[in-house]
Amino acid sequence: MKLKNKITVILIIFAMILVAAGCETQEEEEENGGEGNGIDEETLENLNETEDSVMEIMKYADLVPVLEGKVSPKKGEGEEEEEEEEDEEDEKDEGNENNGEEEENYENNSFKENLTFEETILGETIKREMEAKEDEEDNDENGEDSLPGDAGEAWQEIKDTLAELRNQWDELKPVLKRENVRPGEIELFGETVDELTIATTQQDCLSVLETANQLTGYLAGFKAPFADNATSAAYELKYYTRSVNLAAAEGDFDLAVEHLKEMEKLGDGLEDDLEEKDEEEIYEEFEESLEELERAVEKNNLDLVKIAAAEVMENVVEMIEEVEPDNE
């Protein structure tokens, strides 16, 4: 009888240990976003911050060709000399040490206001994407307000941001490995960062844009284990929108068509998600803008592609706001 009691006590203790272990495991899973494909908001945020760094690099690289020929898109050489003389006289008359800085800010703002989509490759598309992010965050830090003064400053910004990107990648890599992201994909990202570094060193603007954009494609794929399929697909759409623009800039409209086919597939996959949220109108606007982009590519007209791609990007960002977990 005593033996039976002892066995009963042992079984009860064992059962209690199992229950406690199960509760602890469940708590850990909840903290880490659930099993396997649960939503891990912290990692998603880190991935988004890494993408922000890549976008900063693209923004500055896109401006370099314009900055190399700048004082301002609207000014001729004669006007430039005239303004310089006037600036010197003003500085002497006012005797203000800060006048030079104020004049520089004025010229920079004037340059920004007169910059048009024809003068850059991705300018309008990036502008729409970043403006949407600023509206969401109610923050102008990533906007166009801080344009570099010349091409040298732009390249320095690219180098500084690239160093930050490398640090972000060093932190992300072990997290992706733990979530069983394919080692080949992780290696590809690292190799592409190296390619971006080489392109930056060589000051090859187009290569910087293409390589940086490729990184955004990988980052979209990395989101899959930490969110849902809709979020990953929506970010892939951003990548392909820029890809169409870049292919057109190189005159490869056949490649642009291939990118458009991928966009159609991804868009179809998002339709059901948006319908479930009663956001069919957003999807319809995306569909219309995508058709406009297809027509622009068919006409082999880069300027039309730039305008249409910017419209698509604006609609894609709206879709992301609806499907991304932390926006729900």
**Token pair listed for 137:** 């965050």
- Of 74-88, 272-286, 309-323, the range with the lowest mean pLDDT is 74-88
Residue 77's pLDDT band (boundaries 50, 70, 90)? very low
pLDDT value at residue 324: 78
Contact (Cβ atoms closer than 8 angstroms) between residue 23 and residue 167: no
User: Which percentage of the chain shows pLDDT scores above 90?
Assistant: 50
Residue 91 C-alpha from the chain's centroid: 41
Q: Which pLDDT score, from 0 to 100, does residue 76 have? A: 42
pLDDT for the residue numbered 225: 82
Mean pLDDT, the chain, whole residue set: 79
**Residue-wise pLDDT tens digits, 201-211:** 999 999 999 99
Q: Distance of CA 21 to CAs 10, 29, 183, 307, Å? A: 17, 12, 32, 58
pLDDT in tens, 163-201: 999 999 999 999 999 988 889 999 999 999 999 999 999
Q: 236 with 259: CB under 8 angstroms?
A: no
**In this structure, what token pair is assigned to residue 89?**
């006289």
Most confident of 13-22, 27-36, 97-106, 152-161: 152-161
Mean pLDDT is highest, among 19-23, 42-46, 66-70, 243-247, for: 243-247
**Please, what sign has the CA dihedral across residues 76, 81, 85, 88?**
positive
Residue 75 above 50 pLDDT? no
Residue-level pLDDT at 28: 45
CB 128 within 8 A of CB 306: no
Q: Tell me if 128 sits within 8 A of 314, measured CB to CB.
A: yes
* Cα-based distances in Å from 257 to 122, 125, 187: 18, 18, 28
Q: By the 8 A CB rule, do 253 and 297 touch?
A: yes
- Average pLDDT rounded to a whole number, residues 97-119: 53
Three-state SS at 210 = helix
Q: Which of 99-108, 221-230, 310-319 has the highest mean pLDDT?
A: 310-319
pLDDT tens-digit series, residues 42-70: 888 899 999 999 999 999 999 999 998 75
Structural tokens at position 14: 């064992």
pLDDT of 153 above 70? yes
CA distances from 280 to 270, 315, 319 (A): 10, 12, 10
List the alpha helices (DSSP H) in the chain: 2-31, 41-68, 77-94, 99-113, 123-137, 151-178, 183-201, 205-222, 229-249, 253-276, 280-298, 302-323
Task: Name the least confident of 32-46, 240-254, 260-274, 285-299.
Answer: 32-46
Instruction: State residue 276's pLDDT score.
Output: 85
pLDDT, position 323: 83
Most confident of 88-97, 118-127, 144-153, 237-246: 237-246
Is the predicted pLDDT of residue 114 greater than 60, yes or no?
no
Give me the torsion for CA of 161, 167, 169, 175, rounded to 10°: -150
Section 295-305 average pLDDT: 97
Contact 72, 114 (CB under 8 A): yes
Which residue reads 């992010």 in tokens?
133
Q: Cα-atom radius of gyration of the chain, to the nearest Å?
A: 26
Encoding tokens for residue 215? 């990184």
Render pLDDT for 26-45 as a digit per residue (tens, 0 to 9).
444 444 433 444 557 888 88
What pLDDT does 272 receive? 86
**CB within 8 A of 302, min separation 6: which ones?**
248, 249
